[in-house]
Amino acid sequence: LWKMQTFIERSIEDLKTRVGTSRVICGLSGGVDSAVTAALLLRAIGHQVACIFVDNGLLREGESDLVRKTFRDWFRADLHVVDAKDRFLSALKGVTDPQQKRKIIGKVFIDVFKAEAQHIPDARFLAQGTLYPDVIESGGAADGPAATIKTHHNVGGLPKELGFELVEPLRDLFKDEVRRLGTELGLPESLVWRHPFPGPGLAVRCLGEITPEKLATLRHADVIFLDELERSGWYRRTAQAFAVLLPVQSVGVMGDGRTYEDTIALRAVQTDDFMTADWSRLPEDLLARASTRIINNVKGVNRVVYDISSKPPATIEWE
Query: Which of 112, 185, 200, 214 is in the footprint of ligand XMP by CB under 6 A?
Result: 200
Residue 280 and residue 269: Cα distance in Å, rounded?
5
Q: Tell me if 129 contacts ligand XMP by CB under 6 A.
A: no
In the complex, minimum distance from the CB of residue 190 to ligand XMP, in angstroms, rounded to a whole number: 18
Pseudo-torsion of CA 127, 130, 131, 137, nearest 10°? -160
Query: Which of 70, 151, 240, 302 is in the footprint of ligand XMP by CB under 6 A?
Result: 240
In the complex, minimum distance from the CB of residue 269 to ligand XMP, in angstroms, rounded to a whole number: 9
Q: Tell me if 102 contacts ligand XMP by CB under 6 A.
A: yes
* Subset of residues 46 to 85 that bind ligand XMP, contact rule: CB under 6 A: none
Identity (one letter) of the amino acid at 60? R
Q: Which is nearer to ligand XMP, 62 or 196 (CB)?
A: 196
Task: Write the interaction track for ligand XMP spanning residues 158-197; mark x where CB under 6 A is met and - where it is not.
Answer: --------------------------------------x-
Choices 114-122, 129-137, 149-157, 176-184; region in contact with ligand XMP by CB under 6 A: 149-157
Residue 319 and residue 90: Cα distance in Å, rounded?
20
Q: What number of chain residues touch ligand XMP (CB under 6 A)? A: 14
DSSP-derived letter for residue 203 is G
- Residue 35 marked ligand-binding: yes
Closest C-alpha among 182, 167, 168 to residue 132 = 168
- Residue 34 marked ligand-binding: yes
Number of neighbouring beta carbons within 10 Å of residue 286: 18
- Residue 243 marked ligand-binding: no
Which of helix, strand or coil describes residue 187? coil
Q: Which is nearer to ligand XMP, 23 or 132 (CB)?
A: 132
DSSP 120-185: STTEEEEE----HHHHHHTTT-TTSHHHHHHHHT-TT---GGG-PEEE-TTTT--HHHHHHHHHHT
Choices 73-81, 108-116, 198-206, 215-223; region in contact with ligand XMP by CB under 6 A: 198-206
Phi, psi of 264 (to 5 degrees): -110, 130
In the complex, minimum distance from the CB of residue 148 to ligand XMP, in angstroms, rounded to a whole number: 13
Query: Which of 23, 153, 175, 180 is in the footprint of ligand XMP by CB under 6 A?
Result: 153
In the complex, minimum distance from the CB of residue 279 to ligand XMP, in angstroms, rounded to a whole number: 12
Q: Tell me if 150 contacts ligand XMP by CB under 6 A.
A: no
- Residue 31 marked ligand-binding: yes
- Residue 30 marked ligand-binding: yes
Q: Which is nearer to ligand XMP, 18 or 311 (CB)?
A: 311
Rg of the chain over Cα atoms, rounded to whole angstroms, equals 20
Identity (one letter) of the amino acid at 241? A
* Subset of residues 278 to 317 that bind ligand XMP, contact rule: CB under 6 A: 311, 315-317
Q: Which is nearer to ligand XMP, 11 or 29 (CB)?
A: 29
- Asked if 70 and 188 count as a contact pair (C-beta separation under 8 A), the reply is yes
The terminus-to-terminus CA distance of the chain in angstroms comes to 40
In the complex, minimum distance from the CB of residue 271 to ligand XMP, in angstroms, rounded to a whole number: 8
In the complex, minimum distance from the CB of residue 153 to ligand XMP, in angstroms, rounded to a whole number: 4
- Asked if 227 and 242 count as a contact pair (C-beta separation under 8 A), the reply is no
Q: Name the region of 55 (left: φ>0; alpha: ψ -120 to 50; beta: rest).
A: beta
Pseudo-torsion of CA 27, 33, 35, 41, nearest 10°? -80
Between the alpha carbon of residue 84 and those of residues 10, 35, 88, 188, 259, the distances in Å are 37, 20, 6, 26, 36
Binding site for ligand XMP (CB under 6 A): 102, 153-155, 196, 198-200, 240, 274, 311, 315-317
Residues comprising the binding site for ATP? Answer: 29-35
Residues comprising the binding site? Answer: 29-35
